[in-house]
A and B are shown apart, each in its own frame.
Chain A
Amino acid sequence: MNAPILTYVTFLPLLGVLAILFIPQRSESGKKAIRWVSMVISTLVFFVSLRLYFDFDPDVAGFQFIEKYIWIPSYGITYFMGLDGLAFWLVLLTTFLTPLTILSTWSAITKKVKEFQIMMLVLETAMLGTFVSLDLFLFYVFWEIMLIPMWLIIGVWGGERRIYAAIKFFLFTAVGSFLMLVCIIGLVYFHHQETGDLTFNLLSLYNTNLARTYEILFFAAFALAFAIKVPMFPLHTWLPDAHVEAPTAGSVILAGILLKMGTYGFFRFAMPLFPDGSAFFTPLIVVLSIIGIIYGAMVAMVQPDIKKLVAYSSVSHLGYCMIGLFVLNRHGVEGSILQMINHGISTGALFLLVGVVYERRHTRMIAEYGGICRPMPIYASIFFLITLSSVGFPTTNGFIGEFLILLGVFEVNKAAAVLAATGVVLGAIYMFWMFQRVFYGRVSNPKNEKLKDLNRRELAYLLPLVALVFWIGLYPNFFLSKMHSSVDHFISQVKISAEPASPGAVVEHHASVDKAPLSVSAAKE
């Protein structure tokens, strides 16, 4: 590697922070300047990250763009970064979504603009850092840093119950993280015991031979941290509160990228580090995912608040991502990764869209709207296209993801696939019902008669998302082709390293990997 491009991408936003620090925000023009700097920097980050696309080699199974420097040698801690087919797309998703989100705050965030834009840029660095870290210590640092700006974004710029929501968000995520930290140290300790090598290097730690009990224990702790982030049923109740109280930009980043930290964590850490633990917990996770898909959709259906509806729909969608990962076949895993990107795009867009009417009417209650197709036809059209993506209509991105995941699940366990596929029907119910109540009918509320349709700035941050919806829907191979090698590698890692250490365990082991994780009886527990 010639240039340390991952470092550039990750830390470039901080350059923007530095610039913004010197701009006073007393005057309107100062605020404007701050917004523009933030926007320009994050766009720049996106273009720099596009460079990754051209240099990314889809045939490499392992990591690319590797950067490794000694950081704290006495503990074997390194500054170690790299990308594979999953992290690659999540990095691009982050750099793509951030400028669009920043553009959406022009008129939404008018107080403490400087602080807000700084938080957004710090958050971007932290998220990117989390995705590219290959050293557990470095990863943990970014993982925790990420919490703080998000916590502040909810707590300072949020709605009425922002303090409650922010604290809830913080406590939930922190509890999982601390357990994970303990287990990271435990893992490093055992690795040191076994090989005499004290290191936080993920690639070395992949090869640690842990006792089965410890694998299960450690997996449980990692899984808890990630499952809260996903969020999986029944650890999801922080999400609706956080979304409802967060400002639009916060919701977009939270749903679009932060939730992916959970699924990413399973993919990168929990599953390949502890294959036995993963096999042990697969039935539980599959069952919880299915519950999440159905339960999330049903609860979404009866929400009177659009934002809460979208929040619960995330629980349902992320259920797909989780179950796709755990079936451990190409269709499921690639579908799951694609669905992570899809969810970032479609749910991100939905939150942006809700933000648009919220700015105009200062309410998110479905009952306050009705018939706004008429005053806002362009808005309605774009909302409808995103709705289609969310319900997985063919030719949109959602279809490809759901189809691959359900196919993958079906190949392993038909009963689970049948249950998960009900989400296809349920998704249509809650989205179309909401759409009807908001857009169709007569304009019942006089306040809605004079609503202004989308302006150019709003179109500028929505249209790229719409384009991407159909791009992925019509030509998914562009995206999938970059994943194949990494996904194969991941599957072999989790499946093969789960092979038993002693011949005596063969029988029990095969039962646990090939059949038990998804057998009908297990799934019904």
Chain B
Amino acid sequence: MEGYLFLIPLIPFIGFLINGLLGQKIGRSGVYCIGCSSIGLAFLFSILAVYQLACSPAEDRLLVQTLWSWITVGNLNIDMALMIDPLSAVMILVVTGVSFVIHIYSIGYMAHDESYWRFFSYLNMFVFFMIMLVLGSNYIVMFVGWEGVGLASYLLIGFWYKENVNADAGKKAFIVNRIGDFGFLLGMFLMFITFGSLSYLDVFPKAVHMYEHGMLAMNSPVMIAICLLLFLGATGKSAQIPLFVWLPDAMAGPTPVSALIHAATMVTAGVYMVARTNVLYTLAPTALLVLVLMSAATAFIAATIGILQNDIKRVLAYSTVSQLGYMFIGVSVAAYGAGIFHLMTHAFFKACLFLCAGSVIHAMGGDQDMRSMGGLWKKIPITYITMLFATIAISGIPPFAGFFSKDEILWKAFTFPYYPVVGKIVWFIGVLAAGITAFYMFRLIFMTFHGKFRGTEEQAHHLHESPLNMTGPLMILAFGSVFGGWLGIPHLIGSLFGHVPNVLENFFEPVFANSHEIIAAYAGVHHHSTVVEWVLMAGSVAVAIGGIFLAYHIYIRRVDVLPEKLAETYSIYHKLVYNKYFVDEIYYYVVVLPFYYLSMFFWKVVDAFCIDGVGVNGQAWLVQRGSGALRLVQNGYVQTYGAFMLLGLVVMLWFFIV
């Protein structure tokens, strides 16, 4: 198995090269064939690798393939190496699987685009970097993937670069991500000087060893700093407060890109990174506290913004930010497996939602405004059914996928071992956010598919269901949205059906075992009553149903009056939320503009005037003027020279006599 691990990233890379260099020559079908089959092959090899991994005994589920020695300087030894363990196994399946489905979908979606070959080569490049991110065996290889997916994202957001808005959105994404990467870099440096390595297999055992032998205290400042610096990277990549601003703009890219990169895979990289670094985070409870507060805030605030967006993709974008906040709540209450579980179910239903949105946009002839939609379900029934399933899943209604993962996160938050009180507050915010999520998602469904059609005649005429190569992927992903959650059935429910195991949790156990032991030893093992768990579960489902009902009330029953009336009554809040709390504007006036003017000041005043003007040319001017003045002395008149001689004589006499 070590033998072919490298093929998983290599095949998409070859696909990228072929489509990028020869794409125009091999024609449409050639490009589609290369693009999809390379990802399909990568998916097959991933399945094979994961199968072999799952077949080996639990303690042996780890494989490293070193490709070459990359950077060797002094005590720094970085290998270009790949590693697969249960965590990366699940990730690699999600990444290659969802990518494959979305590649198929793109054939239909990009059928009329002249730059299809560029699109497919970028998409393959993205998959390559994403696989490197997931399979890397040390932080630097992860960083290669980390920046690489950012690059692919930049290129794909600005894919239609002729419109400056799109290019702007791409640039914004890259630069905001770079701010995060700045933190990631510093985190790596600090990790290196603390543990002397950046390889997972060196750092984590060493951290555990140092902790057990008293060389590293619980919650030591170094660990907190490492974790928070890495998290800064994650806030960039995974669009969390304060760096989430790029993601809504990123919707400028083609819809398959939004589904793959800005929903299912790339933006979840931060969650993966924290789960990967679980040992260090476990040793830094304060860092986890910061994380959990930030992510709860993100989950809540982004959800509120989602309520009032009218662009179908923007609703989904804010929903993604909010759901990512949910995943971060999971990993930051030290329930790393739960975070990854939600990452997986979210990949299904959010990819499905985006692709459905794409199908809607396709039908609407490119229009994304929900105010001009309505009553579409009859015209595009497959899209409607699949989107409805995914919406139920994201709303957390059992037995759909989102319910299981969301519920596990909420329960783990409620029982947060380090900060029980904070955990309960976070649980409350989480439930609230879940209710809001159910509300705005059903608002989307009702505004899009129900009621009367509000678009133009032309659009009404144009409405049609998408071809099979687009609806097929929808159905696959909808299937995942319905049943994906069954991989992680909680013990509580599993016990009802004769001890159905929590497959995912058992599979992950070797990866998170160290963290679990540390927590158990530090905070003790608490047993919570099953009654509480049942009540909480029922409570969150009730809130979600309440959200759905509210949406139904406002956007179906009283749609003629209520939406406008509410907007008028709460106009200030409406304005604030509708404009996304003016975060973009605040950043623009507080950060971007002052920075720009400071740069101008440096250039025009410091550089051109002070240094070059006064400092350099000023000297030249002085020399010129000085010589000019001295030149007058030498004017060729004997009288003048005589006068100077006399003057000199007087001075000398005076000097000698006095």
Contacts and interface: CB of A to CB of B under 8 A. Distances in A.
B138 to A, nearest CB: 12
Given A237-B612, A298-B598, A410-B189, A331 B74 contact: yes
A30 interface: no
A339 to B, nearest CB: 13
Interface string A65-98: 0000000000000000000000000000000000
B616 interface: yes
B72 interface: yes
30 contacts: A234-B611, A237-B616, A295-B602, A295-B606, A298-B599, A299-B599, A301-B599, A330-B73, A335-B73, A373-B161, A394-B143, A394-B144, A394-B147, A403-B71, A404-B76, A406-B185, A406-B189, A407-B76, A410-B186, A411-B193, A421-B185, A425-B175, A425-B179, A436-B164, A440-B167, A441-B162, A474-B80, A475-B70, A477-B72, A480-B73
Contacts of B144: 394-395
Nearest to B76: A331
Contacts of A404: 71, 73, 76
Given A295-B602, A441-B164, 15 more contacts: A234-B615, A301-B596, A329-B74, A373-B161, A395-B148, A404-B76, A410-B186, A410-B193, A411-B189, A424-B182, A432-B171, A440-B162, A474-B80, A475-B68, A481-B72
B603 A302 contact: yes
B408 interface: no
Contacts of A303: 603
Interface string A162-180: 0000001000000000000
A47 interface: no
A302 B182 contact: no
Interface residues of B, number: 49
Contact of A424 (B148, B185, B606): B185
Contacts, number: 125
A480 B73 CA distance: 7
A418 B186 contact: yes
B69 A477 contact: yes
Contacts of A418: 186
Contacts of B76: 331, 404, 407
Interface string B170-200: 0100110011011001100110110000000
Contacts of A374: 162
Interface of B: 68-74, 76, 80, 140, 143-144, 147-148, 151, 154, 158, 161-164, 167-168, 171, 174-175, 178-179, 181-182, 185-186, 189-190, 192-193, 595-596, 598-600, 602-603, 606-607, 611-612, 615-616
Interface in A364-406: 371, 373-374, 388, 393-395, 400, 403-404, 406
A388 to B, nearest CB: 7
A442 interface: yes
Interface in A237-258: 237-238
Given A302-B600, A410-B186, A393 B611 contact: no
Given A237-B611, A302-B596, A417 B186 contact: yes
Interface residues of A, number: 52
Contacts of B147: 393-394
Contacts of A329: 74
A476 interface: yes
Contact of A403 (B154, B162, B185, B596): B185
Contact of B178 (A411, A424, A439): A424
Nearest to A167: B620
A433 interface: yes
Contacts of A442: 162
A480 B69 CA distance: 12
